[in-house]
Structure 1
Amino acid sequence: MFTRYDGAAWERRFLPRLTSKQIAELPKDGVLTVLPVGAVEQHGAHLPVMTDALIGEATLTQALELLPEEMPVWLLPPIAYGKSNEHMGLPGTISLSAATLQGLVMDIAESLQLSGFRKLLLFNTHGGNVDLLNVVSREIRLKFGMTVFYLSPSGLGGADGIIDPEELEYGIHGGEYETSIVQAIKPGWVQEQYVTAELPQIKGRQFVTLEGRIRFAWHMTDISASGICGDATKASAGKGRVIQDRISTVLAQVLVEMCEFHPDEVRGLGRG
């Protein structure tokens, strides 16, 4: 189970736990700061509206505890809210506008840069943030000269072989994947009596998809009556624990590589 502010990740790697003096004296070479960005939005009748933000915090907590002690990785306070206007009007959804979220992340990056930090990971756990954070990553690089990384833990392959490919493609919200993880990290937050299944009727089309390839713009009510997309009835805490263990193990390795990485190392050699 996940408990915020508990354990080695929060005691040893939570940046605002330090004083201003400690942060000023902190060696900055290779230091990676990690900004979790999630969402607070409806996830059907069975999952908490904090599902995305909760998964992000729990995943990072587990991964950070696997890091070698000498790795200079520091966790920032999570941004719980995201760009969730595709769920607006559904109870419990709290959304930031694209401009607000972009401004918030840019301001945080500038503040970090002024404190001497040079590397930032935007760690995202909400699909509605993806396009915006990709844009913001480059804006931070160009405006503040920071090395910026972006990733979503769902892209690290933790569910391969556990959840079938159809569910992974179409179960994008409140389905087997997210329900299994919440059952593993905060079982008391899942309303098991309301677990259900609903998949959008989009299979069989040659080109148009929900996410990836050729996408169409949608509001949740366009594609779901229950507020979820996926089969939560197949979820289990056991699956969630395996997924989290896999993702956290890979993520710890990713964080090490980010600490050691510099953009200059990938510059090609011109021929003339």
Structure 2
Amino acid sequence: MFIRYEGAAWEERFLPRLTSKQIRELPKDNALVILPIGAVEQHGPHLPVMTDALIGEATLTRAMELLSPEAQAWLLPPIAYGKSNEHLGLPGTVSISAATLQGLVMDIAASLKLSGFGKLLLFNTHGGNVDLLNVVSREIRIVHGMTVFYLSPSSLGGAEGVIDPEEMEYGIHGGDYETSIVMAIKPGWVQSDCLVSEVPAMGDKRFLTLEGRIRFAWRMADISASGICGDATKATAAKGEIIQGRVAGILAEALTELCEFDVADVRGAPEGSR
């Protein structure tokens, strides 16, 4: 079970628990600062509105337990709110605008730069933030010269053989995947007597998808009556534990690679230029 503010992530790698002097003296050549960004929004009748932010915090808490002591990865307080206007009107949704989220992330990056940090990871667990954070990542690179990474933990895999392929395609909100994870990390926050199954009628579409290939703009009310997309009735805590264990292991390896990465090493010399 996930217990907030306990473990290595919060006791050993939580940047704000250090003093200004300690932060000044940190070795920063390979230091990676991680900014979790989630959402507070409706997730149907069975999941808490904090689902996205909760999953992000729990995943980082577990992954950072697996890092070697030499890895210079530092965690910032999470931004719990995201661009969730596709869910506005459904109770519990608290959305901030694209401009507000962009400004907030840009300001945080500027402050980190002034503190001597050069690497930032935007660790996102809400689909509605994806396009904006990709844009913001490049803006930070251009404006502040920082090396900026963007990551959604679901992109690392971990659900193979646990969640069926159709559910992974269409179960994008409050379905088997998210419900199983919340059951594993915070079981008391799941209303198991209210589990819902609702999958958008898109199985006959060759090109159109909700989040891949060719996308179309949608509000949750356009694609779901219950507020979810997926089959939460298949969810189990055992599935969630497998997924979280796999993702944490992969994420720990990825964070180590990001700490060691130098963007200057990517640029090659054209053939024949010597």
TM-score using structure 2 length: 0.98
In the alignment, which residue of structure 2 is the partner of 1:172?
Answer: 172
Q: How much has 1:202 moved relative to structure 2? A: 1.1
Alignment of 1:130 with 2:135, yes or no, is no
Aligned counterpart, 1:27: 27
Map of 1:40-79 to 2, 5 A cutoff? 40-79=40-79
Q: Find the residue that maps to 1:13 and give its secondary structure.
A: coil
Name the residue aligned to 1:267: 267
Tell me the number of residue pairs that the alignment of Structure 1 and Structure 2 aligns: 272
How many angstroms apart in 2 are the aligned matches of 1:111 and 1:185?
Answer: 32
Sequence identity percentage: 75
- Determine if the alignment matches structure 1 residue 163 to structure 2 residue 145: no
CA distance in 2, matches of 1:60, 1:130: 18
Cα distance, 1:8 vs structure 2:
1.5
Deviations along 1:209-238, one digit per CA (max 9) or x if unpaired, are 111111110000000000000000000000
CA distance in 1, matches of 2:40, 2:19: 30
RMSD of aligned residue pairs (Cα, Å): 0.6
Instruction: Give runs of aligned pairs for residues 232-251 of structure 1, distance below 5 A.
Output: 232-251=232-251
Aligned pair 1:16/2:50, yes or no? no
Cα deviation 1:35-85 (Å, max 9, x = unaligned): 000000000000000000000000000000000011100000000000000
- In structure 1, the partner of 2:6 is 6
1:133 to partner: Cα distance: 0.3
Task: Using the TM superposition, give the Cα deviation of residue 119 of structure 1 relative to its aligned residue in structure 2, in angstroms.
Answer: 0.3
Matched, 1:193 2:193: yes
After superposition, the C-alpha distances for 1:70-113 in whole angstroms (9 at most, x for unaligned) are 11000000000000000011000000100000000000000000
Residue 204 (structure 1) shift: 1.1
Q: Give distance in 2, aligned partners of 1:109 and 1:5.
A: 23
Does structure 1 residue 217 correspond to structure 2 residue 220?
no
TM-score, normalised by the number of residues in structure 1? 0.99
Find the aligned partners of 1:157 and 1:6 in 2 and give their Cα distance: 26
Deviations 1:128-184 (A, max 9, x none): 000000000000000000000001000111101110000000000000000000000
Partners of 2:206 and 2:38 lie apart in 1 by 32
Whole-Å separation in 2 of the counterparts to 1:64 and 1:12 = 9
Q: Supply the distance in 1 between the matched residues of 2:144 and 2:60 (Cα, whole angstroms).
A: 25
The letter of the residue matching 1:110 is A
Alpha-carbon distance, 1:206 to partner: 1.5
2: CA distance, partners of 1:104 / 1:243: 31
SS in 1 for 2:12: helix
* Residue type of the alignment partner of 1:53: A
2:181: which partner in 1? 181
